[in-house]
Amino acid sequence: MKIRKLIACFMAIALLAGCLTGCTGGNTSKPAESSKPAESSKPAESSKPAESSKPAESSKPAESSKPEPADPYAAGNFSYPMDKITFTINQEDIDRTTIPEWVKGHYFWDVLEEKTGVTLERIGSESNPQETSEAFSLMLVSGVYPDLMQFNAVSFKGGPGAAISEGYIIALNPYEQYFPALSGWLAEDEMANKAVRMDDGTLYCFPNYGDPTTSSNTGFSIRTDYLERVGMEAPETIEEWYNVLKAFKEQLGLSSPLTFECRWLYLEYAAAGLSNPWHTCYPFYIDDTTVKFGPSDPGYKEFVTEMAKWYAEGLIDPDLASVDKKTVESKMSSGDAGIALQQVRNTQNCIKADHSDDPTYKLQGLRSPVMNKGDEPEFGHYTNAFSGGISISISTQCKNIPAACRFLDYGYTEEGSMLLAYGTEGFSYNIVDGVPVFTELVTNNPETPDAQAARYYVGQFANYAVHNTSNRAHMGAEVVEIAQSFDTLMAKHAYPTVTYTEDEIDAVSAWTDLDTMSREYITNCILGNNSVDDWDAFLAQLEANGLQGVLDVRQAAATRYYNR
């Protein structure tokens, strides 16, 4: 594959650089200062035998001429596995009693240790991928840090720059020779290289980086058999959506024609598909290179007005304010709902559920609604390829930084990235026509029927610092086809993963309260507890509490990002 050739090229360059360093490195190639004629060899001023007739001390072999110990982690000297070494990391410990028998001998963490020579000592204090957890903050306050820190430095207060200046983590740039695989990949991928660095080019973590072409794993699915029963086609326009939902309620008696978690109105652009006809979404999005706040758009008020109408007519789940992902999945599996907005894993569970009492059960993907026939859906669920989450930095208390770099770099090598993404060849996957394909141990395992759970036993494709491009590989063909309908043009509208300066932090932090105010007001508008007639007053309240300042800072950070 192309990536193997590129990695091989980068490794070759690293090896060549190592060889050149070995030929010229150090001061040992320069004439030793001791080889100069000693000053004591000058004619003595007195007639006494000059002390200089004694063998000059300077004639002893100079210490600088001794060969320096070889750096075991430098190119040309290094290979996996390393000598046994242990690193601490802030992850929760593994309960090995829960590991199923079928994976024994091929369990990911055991294989990783065997391949790298590194044992991880887990000390807890795990951090949330989205934001700094209380446990992680308390660990920092204690003054004792693990060698490897898994946390989101982007969302850390003050960003990665503060994490470095305050003495928690190191800048990685001076150690680039020890992570040739990561460096090689970043040199190849301009977008990734821009995303994972600070504005000044500082690299601060070994990033978890997804596939930008499949960055949507939440979207709509619809009961195909219900469409057949009401004699309708899959809806495309927002008007057709309304008509289908109305038919599901009136003709089939569904209690929750459209179901989704209320949180998706505000997180990860998940409900951006519903607001797509009005070309807007919550909270911030990019229009060309301009940052916009969705609710300030006239179209967003129209979107909320439409959702309030649907809710009042019983077309949206009456439990909207309280349902969670399992409840949504249950309603879509049992037949209470006709359209669901949920993660693809839950859609997969709906398909795999026991439908012996309803053999006609069938789902299909549903694209974001549009205003006019033929329009291309632009807004929809999207997660940036790099969000900062599930990435690993090296702490200032790590005693062996070169070895830590080499360990973390393994995830970006050809061998390491395949292990993290697919597990062990011949066990959990095989190469078929040049493409890795999971075995039934992952896709159809009776002991672990959830394919994603099975995949986590053999690899860590989305839970470790790794360049990952295979987040749908374990899914069946039917589910993959549904997931493909989730994809939109959201990549050009999603707000990028920026870093803020310390001077900007206070303005950015004002968003927390504004976000809470916005969610409460919008949710209550949909539920009928607030009136959209008060929309202008709602926006005025946001402005009075610092909305413009937040927009200004976000615009400045986005501009710096685009100029990286």
CA 28 vs CA 17, 21, 31, 219: distances in Å: 18, 12, 7, 64
Share of the chain above pLDDT 90, in %: 79
Q: And the tokens for 69?
A: 């110990």
Between 448 and 467, where is the model more confident?
Answer: 448
pLDDT of residue 64: 54
pLDDT at 59 over 70: no
Chain Cα centroid distance, residue 305: 34
pLDDT at 56 over 80: no
pLDDT at 21 over 70: no
State how far the Cα of 30 lies from the Cα of 26, in Å rounded to an integer.
Answer: 9
Tens-place pLDDT, residues 495-554 = 999 999 888 988 888 999 999 999 999 999 999 999 999 999 999 999 999 999 999 999
Between 164 and 17, where is the model more confident?
Answer: 164
Where would I find the H helices in 318-464? 325-334, 344-352, 401-409, 414-422, 440-443, 451-458
State how far the Cα of 343 lies from the Cα of 341, in Å rounded to an integer.
Answer: 7
pLDDT-based confidence at 240, cuts 50/70/90? very high
pLDDT of residue 63: 53
State how far the Cα of 551 lies from the Cα of 559, in Å rounded to an integer.
Answer: 12
pLDDT at 40 over 80: no
pLDDT at 49 over 90: no
CATH topology match: 85-213+385-466 vs 217-280+292-381+513-521: yes
pLDDT of residue 476: 85
pLDDT of residue 65: 62
pLDDT at 231 over 80: yes
Average pLDDT over residues 235-264: 98
- Give the mean pLDDT of the chain: 88
pLDDT at 4 over 60: no
* Coil, helix or strand at residue 226: helix
Share of the chain above pLDDT 70, in %: 88
pLDDT of residue 13: 38
Domain boundaries, the chain: 85-213+385-466, 217-280+292-381+513-521
Tens-place pLDDT, residues 137-182 = 999 999 999 999 999 999 998 899 999 999 999 999 999 999 999 9
Are 217 and 268 in contact by the 8 Å Cβ rule? The answer is no
217-280+292-381+513-521: CATH, from 3.40.190.10, 1.25.40.10, 3.30.70.20, 3.40.630.30? 3.40.190.10
pLDDT of residue 296: 98
State how far the Cα of 182 lies from the Cα of 218, in Å rounded to an integer.
Answer: 29
pLDDT of residue 186: 97
Nearest to residue 336, comparing CAs of 316, 365, 360, 306?
A: 316
Assign domain 85-213+385-466 to its CATH architecture.
3-Layer(aba) Sandwich (3.40)
pLDDT at 47 over 70: no
Biggest CA pair distance of the chain = 125
pLDDT of residue 2: 40
pTM of the model: 0.80
Nearest to residue 154, comparing CAs of 131, 126, 123, 175?
A: 131
pLDDT-based confidence at 62, cuts 50/70/90? low
**Contacting residues for 242 by C-beta, under 8 A, at least 6 apart:** 310, 315
State how far the Cα of 459 lies from the Cα of 184, in Å rounded to an integer.
Answer: 23
pLDDT at 230 over 90: yes
pLDDT of residue 221: 98
pLDDT at 423 over 90: yes
